[in-house]
Amino acid sequence: MITVKIFTFNAYSENTYVLYDETSQCVIIDPGMYEGFEQNELASFIRQQNLKPVLLLNTHCHLDHVFGNKFVFDTYGLKPKFHIGELPILEAVPGYAPSMGFSRYEVSPLPDEFLPETGTITFGNSVLELIFAPGHSPAHLCFYSKKDHILIGGDVLFYGSIGRSDLPGGNHQQLIQNISDKLFVLPDETKVYPGHGPATTIGFEKKHNPFF
């Protein structure tokens, strides 16, 4: 069974996730640590729980979701995995981060391998399915555990809202279509852990999200 630990980091209040199961293997998703105390908070939790990080995943590569990639690489030897369509987004970060007030951005390592649009990722006894859902960013992936009814959704679907689509590579209609066709077909009880804000469920959003 997957346990989800949520951290909220950086000036954008970005949700960083650590997923782990009974084997103590864990996955770090969208590490948003920018300040040293944020790095310490993540590392302390992993140490206290005796976890072994085995994967670093990015749903997408906007700066607030990749601030901590370099720290995770330096600390645990893990390079990020994401869809190749996000590579230009990641490579653009050093150029604009200072203008956004983040002069101490540590450049992320590049993947040794990229994730496909469909398929699965495994860690410990757990399986995460890949769901390709661009629209907020050009090659956004969500990570879904069918067994545990959880979706790490990044910036696609939020509590009562959806991701913005006015950034480079965004497409509002594509985002709406992917939520309808790929997320709203999941069981209603699926808990959605978004990139910002509180968790929600597929069933709640199908009934109450004002964009649908």
Token digits of residue 136 = 């907020």
Query: What residue spans define the domains of the chain?
Result: 3-208
Residues in contact with 96: Cβ distance below 8 Å, sequence separation at least 6, in sequence order = 63
Q: What is the pLDDT of residues 125-144, one digit of tens each?
A: 999 999 999 999 999 999 99
Token digits of residue 184 = 């709203």
Q: What average pLDDT does range 63-86 have in this prediction?
A: 98
d(CA 109, CA 104): 15
pLDDT of residue 137: 98
User: In terms of pTM, does the model score above 0.85?
Assistant: yes
pLDDT of residue 168: 87
β-strand pairing of 150-154 with 191-194: parallel
Mean pLDDT of the chain: 97
Q: What is the pLDDT of residues 153-183, one digit of tens each?
A: 999 999 999 999 998 899 999 999 999 999 9
Level-2 CATH architecture, domain 3-208: 4-Layer Sandwich (3.60)
Q: Which of 191, 164, 195 is nearest to 6 (CA)?
A: 195
Q: What is the pLDDT of residues 14-47, one digit of tens each?
A: 999 999 999 999 999 999 999 999 999 999 999 9
